[in-house]
Amino acid sequence: MTDVTERTALVHLEDIGKHYGNVRALDGVSLEVHAGEITCVLGDNGAGKSTLIKIVAGLHRHDAGTFRIEGEESGLSSPREALDRGIATVHQDLAVVPLMPVWRNFFLGSEPRKGFGPFKRLDVDLMRRTTREQLLRMGIDLRDVDQPIGTLSGGERQCVAIARAVYFGAKVLILDEPTAALGVKQSGMVLKYVAAARDEGLGVVFITHNPHHAYLVGDRFVLLKRGTMVGSHTREEITVDELARQMAGGNELDDLRHELERTPHGGDRQDAGR
C-alpha cells in the first residue's frame, strides 16, 4: 500500500500570498489536501480563512507562491473552472432557495431534461429519485424530498449540500464553517457526513474556529493568525488539548493570565488603579 505522503496531493498550496492594496491578507500559507483525508484550517475572525477559501474556490487569484491541482501548477480564474477541476465549495450561507423542494435545490443549475426540441422539459421523476437515493447513500433519511429545503434544520441543509457535491463528482470539498451556527446535536450530524465524504474518497478542507470539532474528524491541521500560518500538524503530531491551546493563542494566553491574576488581597488591581 502506498503511503499517503508519496501520493500526489489533490490540492497543494505552497507559500501562498495575497494582498489587497496595502493590506496583507495571506502570507506564506501552505496546505495539502489528499484523497480520503480531511485537512482542517483553523483560525479566529480575520485570520485569513475566507481569503484562503476564495483562492482555492477560484474566486480570487493568489499573488505569491504556487498552487497545484493534482501536481499541475494552476491559477483558477473562476468558480466554474474550480468546479470543472473537481473543487466544490459549500459556503456558510449554502446558496439554497428556501421555498423550493429539496430535490430542486439538489439539482439547482444542473437540472436534467427529457424530450426533444420544444417538448424538452425537466425530468422531475429522475431528480426526485436521484435525490432520495443519493441522500440515503450518505446516510441521510429525509422524510420527504418534496418538502421545501427551508423547512430543514441547518444541519440537514448542510448534509444535503455535501451529498450534492459528492454526487456531482467533486474530488475536493471545501466546507466553510459548517458547524458555526449549529447546536451540539446538529454539529454532530454534520461532522458525521463530513467523515462520510472523506470515506467516499474526497479530499475535504474543513474551515472552522472550533478545535474540538476539527480534532474529531481531521487528519491534518493548519492554524492561521492574521494571514500567516502559525502551525501545521498531522493528527499524530498533536493532541486536541495542544491544538486548542495553539488556537487560543498559546503563550499569549499564558501572558494574559499572568496579567489578570490578583494577589490574595486584590493588590494588583489596586496598584493598577493608582
pLDDT (0 to 100) of residue 95: 74
Q: Whose CA is closest to 34, among 220, 168, 215?
A: 220
SS3 of 89-121: EECCCCCCCCCCEHHHHHCCCCCCEECCHHHCE
- Contact (CB, 8 A) for 205 and 33: yes
Q: Whose CA is closest to 81, among 104, 56, 58, 51?
A: 58
Q: Which element (helix H / strand E) includes 122?
A: strand 121-122
Handedness of CA 218, 68, 25, 251 (dihedral sign): positive
pLDDT bin (cut points 50, 70, 90) of residue 46 is confident
Q: What is the mean pLDDT of residues 175-192?
A: 89
Express each pLDDT in 58-81 by its tens digit.
999 999 999 999 999 887 888 889
Domains detected in the chain: 7-238 (3.40.50.300), 240-274 (no CATH)
Helix (H, G, I), strand (E, B) or coil at 159: helix
Q: What is the mean pLDDT of residues 79-107?
A: 89
